[in-house]
Amino acid sequence: QVQLVESGGGLVQAGGSLRLSCAASGRIDSINAMVWYRQAPGKQRELVALITTGGSTNYADSVKGRFTISRDNAKNTVYLQMNSLKFEDTAVYYCNTQDWAQSYWGQGTQVTVSS
């Protein structure tokens, strides 16, 4: 099995920055891509950013140019650097990965952006 634990969320003013972390443990040999999702109240969960084992990345249009996903393979950790935060970025942020058998989710970390 794989365990994912997110951290780094909090309260920040619009225009500020936060750095989220997701630490993976367990049977991680088969992990390929790591993904950040978010879910705001009353909205569907949406994909925010993705990074493959080879380092290629993809972003939602709403965060391009502001968010950066990266990974430290030695620490089995993926990061989401969030700059120029907007009120609409307020959500619970989740990390996610898959192996051949199933999908794995962390518990989520709350990000709140105030004006």
CB 18 within 8 A of CB 86: no
Distance CA 39, CA 110 (A): 10
Instruction: Per-residue pLDDT tens, the chain, 115 aa: give them.
Output: 899 999 999 999 999 999 999 999 998 776 779 999 999 999 999 999 999 988 999 999 999 999 999 999 888 899 999 999 999 999 999 999 998 889 999 999 999 999 8
pLDDT of 73: 83
